[in-house]
Chain A
Amino acid sequence: MNVSHPGHLPHGPAEPPAQRLARLRGPVPQRSLDARALAALAANPGCRRRALLDAAGVDKAALADRLGSPAPFGQSPFAIVRGNVFESRVKADGYAELLLLLQQRLGLPEPGAAELAVPDLLPRAGTAVRTERTRQVLADAAAHRGRWTLLDHPMLCLEVAGSPAFLEPDAVVVRPDGRWTVVEIKSFPVLDGSADPAKVGAAARQAAVYVLALQQTAAELAGVKPDPDPYAAPEGLAAAPDTAVLLVCPRDFSNRPTAAVVDVRRELSVTRRQLQRMTGIEQLLEALPEGVGFDLSTDDDGSPVRSTGQLGESVAAVPAAYSPDCLSTCELGFHCRQEARCAGAVEQLGRAVRGELGSLRTVGDALAAAAGAGTDPADEAAARLARAAALRAEALGRRPSAPGSGEAPGV
């Protein structure tokens, strides 16, 4: 097998980022960024490690496995079945329930069966063909005002850091008034009109990625450039994508769909910002030391191309920004936590603690300051910690500088 190893190849500054990223990943399939992954970029935008791995299309879950800290994520087969059953229920009977919900929630004229077009989007074709087909259908629909066109699992494309990301919304509807509405089908329930805000938030961020892709498509079809101004009000076809999406969920404890209109303008501007940052990936690449690579493939004899040690060093070479939120948002969470703990970083206790500790970045420094060994007497944080330590000792009836509870771990 002819594998090119990063570091073995000379590379000049002229190497295009996409190629360099591909080299970092090695000859394994690229984990393409889907809408969920793009939406997750907003979870920790300060983390270069994640930005780089995502841009390079590295399978972070597999990487975490190799590093010995597997990601704790998984989906129950029950939940998967439930999700599929619900989606097919929503789309059953020629999308009757879905159209009814659209019409009710968006205040549109009642859909007559005759006016509904459900074009074949070539679901079995390759992504490029599907994307082109979706584009055509949208262009067509724009030319036929006054009818409903339902795009079931269309394929959209968004350029992210130089490579295309292919996105597949549950559905996009072209309404009789010419507007395009993203439909997001989720299997968490809407109970008495409200739903888990964290889940709705995630759905909204995901839907915003689709809206962004649609805005690009619409602008291209209209022959204009998409306007980055968040308050811009484009005209004509470019204005077709609605920034409110329809979220379809099971109602109460049943399997019947209900829907809510979710305004994703805020999420849209967040996504736009994050994608702009992704284009800054070149600087990250330039700062990479030689020899860094995340090749997870194996040689012919089944032995890994890169040893665990090499992978670990490569990961360590890219700066991270760990916070406990990572545990639920990033596959490398357990790995980066371990790293943060070894380094004694105060972030292991939560994002918020940093605000109180000012320039004290490690547990050791903070505790030293609390013990009154503050290096800088003008340091407000150290002074406050020392005062806090004195108060704490007084309240607990300890001698002021007694370390911890005085007990060794595990005694």
Chain B
Amino acid sequence: MSLLSTLARLEAVRSGRAEPLATVRHRHLSDRPMVVVPLTAAGEAGAPLAAMLGTDRAAPRLHVVPQPLDRDQRFAFLAALAADLLPYLEGYGEEVEQVEGTERDPETGERTPVVRELCAQAPQLIVPSAAGVDQLGLIGRSTRFRRTADDADAGPHPVPTRVPLLGRWLTHLRERSEVPGSSLLVAMTALLSRHWATGQSHLEDQHLGALLAWISPPPGMSGAEAARRAESARDERGQLYCPPAGPATDPRFDEKLLAPAVARYDAARAALRARPGGDERAERHVRRAAEEIRELLAGVLRPTWDQVWHGVDLLRTLPPAAHLPERWESDRWSYTGHRDRLAAGEPPQPRHDDAVTAARKLAQREREQAKVELQEALDDPLAMAEHRLSGEAFAGTVVDVEPAYDTSGRSPKPRPLVTVRTADRPHADPGREVHRAGGPAAQKAEIVAVDPDDGTLTLRLTSGMGRRKEPEPGSVPQPGEQVVFTLFELTVRQAAPLPAPEDTPWTHGGPPSAAALAPAAAAAGSDPITDPEDWE
């Protein structure tokens, strides 16, 4: 945690409510986000219990597995989830814009212009917390390899047709969420804690209810009180007022309410099975027992659902950061790419990345991380303040400008000397290159002199002034003007090229084979695709 955000937390302790950590919104927020609140059965990896989802806060849709250990019910749940989510996910694939670019001809190496399709918009899934992101990833992993009745070799337990497709989308979104600054799948806790500092720790901020309690405490309560209530207050039945945001449910809820309800449901089904001819009363019992479970789960999901939408409202009060459209465009490319891979009939994402793909993803994430940090600093004075405090940037007022020229070349070039007064203490030694932030164009300068007693720095501008002897009008800051310079570059370097996966070198085991990509399965002598995944 940086000192500035620690300070904000300290302030929040004093004021009793969360304090701003940003002056703008640093993450894209869709006009029509899809909120998804998933629940799982305790102790069962990837055994879904319920999900509440939808784009309309007034009309959440609920899908439930009354008996999480029942395979057919789980498949029915996944089919319903697919039917519900896929239209939203696929719906952004139609409207496209044409983007011109260039492509290098692999034979000749020449660049040729190409026009590519880019989806005009993309979906955005919002889950309550980081655990929800993982949970969607798990559902993706558990479904994308399943065989359906349409497959030639359907195996013993085919799933409904669209389920593997859902798995591939969720897998893609989960992968994308690892990219810093991406917004296709986001956790509300992460969004909120990027923009507000609470008077509690990071760990406690993982609790969506507690986090919101600090950001907008109910009237008459301090953030700390409200957070404590959200964490632990229970009603007369011993149930939490603010149930956990999932995917796990509160153990006391499982024990006191859910387990008995599931037992009643099982009993009702057993009774029904005992009457082979069918029996209206027994059927009614089963339905009622299932309905009871549904209501219980709706009851613990609804508070979280409302909290996520409350979070959306809070985020919408912040003005969007200037670089959001650029970053959202990367998300749109990611979405378009996945759409195209599906259309091209490519197989589902493998269980493990091969060496080259892993390296490529790592490089992408590192680049995006650097980019987000840069862009946030440029978009938000509070983010830039972090760099100023750490001596990596300085801001101040121009007090003097002295024209000067570099006459070493054929024609003289402008190299004006600019003196800036600043209270910042950058780690700037003479000779160091600095970069102007927020200027009319990219501009570099070199530090000529530092006078800490006077609080001034003198710089020689070295670029961004046009090609003539005199600088372009407006390209040199004038006395009285506010300027910001950074010691770090304001562009992110390109990642180095990697070999194609089929050219993986001997140092990394040579080209991947199917077996190498599934080491665990190979060792256990089983096939991840046809192996029955029994939950009983």
Contact = CB atoms under 8 A, between A and B. Distances in A.
Report if A and B touch in the complex (beta carbons < 8 A): yes
Interface of A: 70, 72, 74-83, 104, 187-193, 250-256, 258, 324-325, 327-328, 334, 341, 344, 346, 348-350, 352-353, 356-357, 363, 366-367, 370, 384-385, 387-392, 394-396, 403-405, 407-410
Interface string B299-314: 0000000000000000
B255 A77 contact: yes
Contacts of B223: 409
B352 A410 contact: no
B10 A367 contact: yes
B519 interface: yes
Contacts of A353: 1, 6, 9
Q: Which of B217, B254, B518 has the most CB of A within 10 A?
A: B254
B44 A78 contact: yes
Contacts of B231: 72
B220 A410 contact: yes
B11 interface: yes
6 contacts: A80-B43, A189-B45, A341-B224, A392-B7, A395-B382, A395-B385
A353 B8 CA distance: 12
Contacts of A385: 3, 7
B524 A251 contact: yes
Given A349-B200, A388-B3, A395-B23, A410 B385 contact: no
A127 to B, nearest CB: 28
B201 interface: yes
Contacts of B519: 193
Contacts of B423: 387, 390
B259 A363 contact: no
Interface stretch (B116-124, B360-368, B508-516, B525-533): B525-533
A76 B251 contact: yes
Contacts of A192: 141, 351-352, 518, 520
A82 B201 CA distance: 33
B389 interface: yes
A353 B6 CA distance: 7
B252 interface: yes
Contacts of B406: none
Contact of A363 (B4, B14, B204): B14
Contacts of A389: 7
Interface in B15-33: 15-17, 19-20, 23
Contact of A410 (B43, B219, B388, B535): B219
A407 B251 CA distance: 38
A193 B534 CA distance: 18
A78 B259 contact: yes
Given A388-B4, A389-B7, A394-B381, A409 B222 contact: yes
A331 B423 CA distance: 48
What 9 pairs between A and B have smallest CB-CB spacing? A409-B16, A404-B15, A79-B43, A76-B42, A74-B251, A193-B520, A324-B201, A82-B43, A76-B254
B202 interface: yes
Given A77-B254, A192-B352, A394-B385, A334 B201 contact: no
B479 interface: no
A392 B204 contact: no
B167 interface: no
Given A350-B203, A394-B385, A252 B3 contact: no
Contacts of B8: 392
B249 A76 contact: yes
B46 interface: yes
B388 A391 contact: yes
Contacts of A104: 523
Interface string B99-125: 000000000000000000000000000
A23 B322 CA distance: 66
Interface of B: 1, 3-4, 6-17, 19-20, 23, 41-47, 68, 138, 141-142, 199-204, 217-224, 228, 231-232, 248-252, 254-255, 258-259, 351-352, 380-382, 384-385, 388-389, 423, 518-520, 523-524, 528, 531-536
Nearest to B202: A350
A403 B15 CA distance: 8
Contacts of A250: 45
A405 B17 contact: yes
Nearest to A344: B13
Contacts of A324: 200-204
A81 B199 CA distance: 39
A235 B202 CA distance: 48
A356 B531 contact: no
Nearest to A397: B23
A66 B20 CA distance: 38
Given A77-B254, A78-B43, A192-B351, 4 more contacts: A253-B46, A394-B385, A409-B222, A410-B217
A324 B9 CA distance: 14
A363 B7 CA distance: 10
A251 B532 CA distance: 12
Contacts of B351: 192
A49 B141 CA distance: 44
A395 B255 CA distance: 50
Q: Which of A334, A344, A353 has the most CB of B within 10 A?
A: A353
A193 to B, nearest CB: 4
B396 to A, nearest CB: 11
A372 to B, nearest CB: 13
A81 to B, nearest CB: 8
Contact of A255 (B10, B11, B534): B534
Given A188-B45, A370-B7, A395-B381, A78 B254 contact: yes
B263 to A, nearest CB: 10
Nearest to B11: A404
A251 B200 CA distance: 38
B533 A409 contact: no
B405 to A, nearest CB: 35
Nearest to A350: B201
Nearest to B7: A388
Given A76-B251, A76-B254, A349-B6, A405 B532 contact: no
A331 B485 CA distance: 50
Contacts of B47: 253
B10 A79 contact: no
Nearest to B45: A189
A81 B351 CA distance: 29
Nearest to B18: A405
